[in-house]
Chain A
Amino acid sequence: MITAKTAYVLHSDQGMTHPATEPMRQGTAASSPFAIELRGISKAFGPVQANKDISIRVRRGTIHGIVGENGAGKSTLMSILYGFYRADSGEIVINGNHTEIPDSLSAIRAGVGMVFQHFKLVENFTVLENVILGAEAGGLLRPSLAKARGLLKDLAREFELNVDPDALIENLSVGHQQRVEILKALYREADILILDEPTGVLTPSEADHLFRILRGLKEQGKTIVLITHKLREIMDVTDEVSVMRRGEMVATRVTSQTSPTELAELMVGRKVLLRVEKPPASPGDEILRVEGLRLVDAQGVERLRGLDFNIRAGEILGIAGVAGNGQSELLEVLAGLRPADGKAWVRGAPLPLSGAGSDAQSRRALRIAHVPEDRHRRGLVLNFHAWENTALGYHHDPAYNPTRWKMDNAAIIRDTESKMAAFDVRPPDPQLKASGFSGGNQQKIVLAREIEHGPDVLLVGQPTRGVDIGAIEFIHQRLIRLRDAGAAILLVSVELDEILALSDRVLVMFDGRIMGERMPDKTNAQELGLLMAGMA
């Protein structure tokens, strides 16, 4: 096995040299202009061909984007590069050297670092402890920590990667936690940095900061692979972009010579509408009213700090905000999943927020439906058949349950079939387990269940998270159609584009408060971004 890099331990003996200031350690291998070359990579999981004969070349010192719908095989490809999976066939060439990557340790040795979508940090460790975890210089911690502290200071100065080395991870913002992940990779001397959907959890300004960091790293000769589904980011920050579709690499473009429209078409394989056709709303009577909504969580932290708003019939109220600013709690409170203080009314009748009548079943009885943010944890029982999931929450419905105790399984299956047809769920098989559907089809199962019961209020969280572009179009159209049928919709999404496209009014939440209300046609992402960051 050829390792283009010296192992970490060897390097640490040389003292505190900054990786980027060292001479080209790749030696002779540096003759190749490509940091990564994958040739003919294939990987199958059972009958599913996740990667089909993929070849890609990433130039050294560039930012290379990889876009594709969910399930296109982006993550599988990167997992192969990082040693989580082994390819069935194909070869990996790092800096001109054929490299075997059987595990992530080998990947790190080859100079590949990865920043995962879900951070792999120990919450109650300090930044410094997290950075050295797994790369300690010896059995004693003190020398490792001292060494890391010096290195971190250099990195912080050079790349705007400012993080307090002694802060506990749990006290850091998401953006800072991500910087720790990048620091971890750099500390392990990564020359090639893979970032998997890095901006999903960031505010627009944090994302901008991240891109500044990435550009700085690029200037220092690092190679960056950016996996994302946000075309705007690709256009903003990458030099080249590769598009994956259904396990295949369908195209590579120089970013400056392509357009979001072309990329979207390549991703989906057909023309897509990037904007939703939305007739103007004609709001009717007030359906839901909330006053002084407060929520204190089990740790005594105030998550909702007095919210007042209303939604009228035939109106979509969008809640914008960075994840973790109380939107999830708001949905859960209204859906009857956690008690809170304050007052609420539905169609003028008081809605209890705690105690009797505040559970999820009572909410459904009041025709309040809920498409939860986390369909895997809440919206579906993954191990249940599609038809069993269709009854979830509606298992008291007389149509499913005529005798009050014995379920009419045949009726549920029939109903599931018609719902699947109405929402174009593929495959339309009620007997398939929920885990067997793609993200978009899982979401359609949930939406069909909640929408087809004809709710007066629909609470919907992240309706298109992890959903492919084709299904996004469909889901957006269905939400608009439900609105036009006279429902009041509360839409929570971290995707600003989605909020702007669907909402008739937008509230921005920050730290459990409503920072302001805007009309989507009279605002823009920059203004909302400032509100989302708490700057009014």
Chain B
Amino acid sequence: MSAKGRIPNWADVTLVPLTSVLLAFILSAILIWAIGESPWEAVKLMVDGAFGSSYGWGYTLFYATNFMFTGLAVAVAFQARLFNIGGEGQALLGGLGVALVCLYIPWPHWSLALLAACAGAAAFGALWALIPGYLQARRGSHIVITTIMFNFIAASLLGYVLVNVLRPQGSQDPSSPRFPSEIALPKLHEMLALVGIPFSRVPPVNISLLIAIAMCFAVWFLLWRTRLGYQIRAFGESEPAAQYAGISPARITVVVMLISGALAGLMAVNSVMGEQQRLVLNAVEGAGFIGIAVALMGRNHPLGVALAAILFGFLYQGGAELALWTSIPRELIVVIQALVILFTGALDNMVRIPIARMFARRGAG
């Protein structure tokens, strides 16, 4: 008997995030209007830029692929109530895994290289998450602190490796050599051409998109259909109850962080192998952090994460178009993205409580 009442499940996953996004957009519109641009034109430009052509779609989906991986990473950890802020570092390390696999082993075919790159990315990402996970499980070091710190360590480590190990002789650029062109991943336009659908050749969206979607399904299956998932969720919902059920908190913490880190690491398959075809210094470009917002908005459910990833892909791509065609400064795009994060993440209760009241009143009346 709580005074707040309860929101029906469907409203919790649709109405609440949509209202939050709407509020963020209204505030953004006021901002755009305040700097003398037309909010309506801006929205049109963004939607058109992100969804109006296969070129726009291609970029939107490319970004969405990144966000699905990092969003899933955060969501899985959060099911165990572990706040993995380290997606950024884990994805960076995943990139290193991809680069090592692609550079040092001559693969006969891209498909084998892809499998190996996935394994490398997942293993390196998982390894990077294992250390904070172990420290939390055995030493009680708070995972939020350690994963944040590990982002910095990962960046420094990657800088060192790129400059001192992977950089080709004589190059001024802190990046690895290009991967062999034989193992370039098939792009979406090539795949769609097989079934006769024309698609823009420019955007870097590639077969990793399918891996990301498969991962969404795999995570759903893991959480709601397997014994391990049951244990993860029980541990997340109530540690004393999990202990009562004989679920080892330390074991679950470590296992969940391994899975989370592996998912974050997999992002590198898309960005490093799919797009850049080499390892560069800032291969992750903040996607690890966006993953937190994506998971928040997707309510830590794989389907929600997939949808939220597309929304953030839209914001990225639409925002780029906006910066290109109007005098709206790039920074404002970041502000709009920040507003969406603010409303969906931090101000969740501001929207949730009135909606809960609305349902409570309807239920009573």
Interface set of A (CB-CB < 8 Å, partner B): 44-48, 50, 76, 85, 88, 335-337, 359-364, 370, 372, 374, 377-384, 388, 391-393, 395-396, 401, 404-407, 409
Q: What residues on A are CB-neighbors of B225 within 8 Å?
A: 406-407, 409
Q: What residues on B are CB-neighbors of A359 within 8 Å?
A: 246, 248
Tell me, yes or no, whether B48 is within 8 Å of chain A by CB: no
Evaluate contact between A337 and B244: CB separation under 8 angstroms. yes
Evaluate contact between B245 and A395: CB separation under 8 angstroms. yes
Known contacts A47-B363, A360-B243; 17 additional CB pairs below 8 A are A44-B364, A45-B5, A46-B6, A46-B360, A85-B3, A337-B243, A337-B244, A361-B247, A364-B246, A374-B240, A378-B238, A378-B240, A395-B227, A395-B245, A406-B225, A406-B226, A409-B225
A407 to B5, CA, bound (A): 32
Tell me, yes or no, whether B211 is within 8 Å of chain A by CB: no
Evaluate contact between B238 and A381: CB separation under 8 angstroms. yes
Tell me, yes or no, whether B231 is within 8 Å of chain A by CB: yes
24 CB contacts below 8 A, A to B, read A45-B1, A45-B5, A46-B5, A46-B360, A336-B246, A360-B243, A360-B244, A360-B245, A377-B240, A378-B238, A379-B244, A380-B241, A381-B234, A382-B237, A388-B234, A392-B241, A392-B244, A393-B245, A395-B227, A395-B230, A395-B231, A407-B225, A407-B229, A407-B230
A370 to B246, CA, bound (A): 12
Tell me, yes or no, whether B228 is within 8 Å of chain A by CB: yes
A381 to B248, CA, bound (A): 16
What is the number of residues of chain B that contact chain A, defined by CB distance less than 8 Å?
29
Evaluate contact between B2 and A379: CB separation under 8 angstroms. no
- B-side interface mostly: helix
Evaluate contact between A391 and B244: CB separation under 8 angstroms. no
Q: What residues on A are CB-neighbors of B238 within 8 Å?
A: 377-378, 381-383
Q: Which of B204-255 contact A (CB under 8 A)?
A: 225-231, 233-234, 237-238, 240-248
Closest to B246 in A: A361
Among candidates A44, A336, A392, residue contacting B234 with C-beta atoms closer than 8 Å: A392
A45 to B243, CA, bound (A): 33
Q: What residues on B are CB-neighbors of A379 within 8 Å?
A: 241, 244
A18 to B106, CA, bound (A): 92
Q: What residues on B are CB-neighbors of A384 within 8 Å?
A: 233-234, 237
Evaluate contact between A401 and B244: CB separation under 8 angstroms. no
Closest chain B CB from A239 CB (angstroms): 30
Evaluate contact between A381 and B246: CB separation under 8 angstroms. no
Q: Which of B1-31 contact A (CB under 8 A)?
A: 1-3, 5-6
Q: What residues on A are CB-neighbors of B226 within 8 Å?
A: 405-407
Closest to A45 in B: B1
A360 to B248, CA, bound (A): 9
Closest chain B CB from A338 CB (angstroms): 9
Q: What residues on B are CB-neighbors of A405 within 8 Å?
A: 226-228
A289 to B359, CA, bound (A): 55
Evaluate contact between B3 and A393: CB separation under 8 angstroms. no
A156 to B238, CA, bound (A): 43
Q: A44-B364, A395-B230 are in contact. Are A335 and B237 (CB under 8 A)?
A: no
Q: What residues on A are CB-neighbors of B2 within 8 Å?
A: 45
Closest to A409 in B: B225
Among candidates A85, A88, A393, residue contacting B244 with C-beta atoms closer than 8 Å: A393
A192 to B233, CA, bound (A): 46
Q: A45-B1, A50-B1, A381-B237 are in contact. Are A335 and B244 (CB under 8 A)?
A: yes
Q: What residues on A are CB-neighbors of B242 within 8 Å?
A: 381
A388 to B229, CA, bound (A): 12
Closest chain B CB from A147 CB (angstroms): 36
A406 to B229, CA, bound (A): 9
Interface flags, B76-116, vs A, CB<8A=1, else 0: 00000000000000000000000000000000000000000
Q: What residues on A are CB-neighbors of B234 within 8 Å?
A: 381, 384, 388, 392
Closest chain B CB from A523 CB (angstroms): 33
A76 to B1, CA, bound (A): 9
A382 to B6, CA, bound (A): 14
A393 to B234, CA, bound (A): 10
Q: What residues on A are CB-neighbors of B244 within 8 Å?
A: 335, 337, 360, 370, 372, 378-379, 392-393
Closest chain A CB from B158 CB (angstroms): 35
Closest chain A CB from B219 CB (angstroms): 15
Q: What residues on B are CB-neighbors of A388 within 8 Å?
A: 230, 234
Most chain A CB within a 10 A radius of its CB, from B225, B228, B234, B247: B234
Evaluate contact between A396 and B227: CB separation under 8 angstroms. yes
Q: What residues on B are CB-neighbors of A381 within 8 Å?
A: 233-234, 237-238, 241-242
A44 to B364, CA, bound (A): 7
Evaluate contact between B227 and A46: CB separation under 8 angstroms. no
A381 to B232, CA, bound (A): 12
Q: A337-B243, A377-B238, A384-B234 are in contact. Are A401 and B360 (CB under 8 A)?
A: no
Q: What residues on B are CB-neighbors of A377 within 8 Å?
A: 238, 240-241
Most chain B CB within a 10 A radius of its CB, from A44, A76, A370, A393: A393
Q: What residues on B are CB-neighbors of A360 within 8 Å?
A: 243-246
A46 to B357, CA, bound (A): 9
A384 to B6, CA, bound (A): 15
Q: What residues on B are CB-neighbors of A393 within 8 Å?
A: 244-246
A48 to B246, CA, bound (A): 36
Q: Which of B271-303 contact A (CB under 8 A)?
A: none
Closest to A370 in B: B244
Closest chain A CB from B256 CB (angstroms): 16
Q: What residues on B are CB-neighbors of A378 within 8 Å?
A: 238, 240-241, 243-244
A382 to B234, CA, bound (A): 10
Q: A46-B363, A381-B237 are in contact. Are A401 and B227 (CB under 8 A)?
A: yes
Closest chain A CB from B323 CB (angstroms): 43
Q: What residues on A are CB-neighbors of B229 within 8 Å?
A: 407
A379 to B225, CA, bound (A): 22
A46 to B356, CA, bound (A): 10
Q: Which 10 A-B pairs have the closest CB atoms?
A: A361-B246, A360-B246, A393-B245, A46-B363, A378-B244, A381-B237, A46-B5, A377-B240, A392-B245, A378-B240
Most chain A CB within a 10 A radius of its CB, from B240, B248, B363: B240
A103 to B352, CA, bound (A): 23
A337 to B249, CA, bound (A): 12
A146 to B229, CA, bound (A): 59
A336 to B247, CA, bound (A): 11
Evaluate contact between A407 and B227: CB separation under 8 angstroms. yes
Closest to B356 in A: A46
A50 to B5, CA, bound (A): 13
Closest chain A CB from B218 CB (angstroms): 13
Closest to B361 in A: A46
Q: What residues on A are CB-neighbors of B3 within 8 Å?
A: 45, 85
A31 to B332, CA, bound (A): 69
Q: What residues on B are CB-neighbors of A337 within 8 Å?
A: 243-244
A360 to B242, CA, bound (A): 10
Q: What residues on B are CB-neighbors of A382 within 8 Å?
A: 237-238
A335 to B359, CA, bound (A): 42
Most chain A CB within a 10 A radius of its CB, from B225, B230, B238, B246: B246
A88 to B361, CA, bound (A): 11
Evaluate contact between A391 and B5: CB separation under 8 angstroms. no
A85 to B1, CA, bound (A): 12
Closest chain B CB from A463 CB (angstroms): 16
A45 to B360, CA, bound (A): 7
A409 to B243, CA, bound (A): 22
Q: What residues on B are CB-neighbors of A406 within 8 Å?
A: 225-227
A384 to B247, CA, bound (A): 16
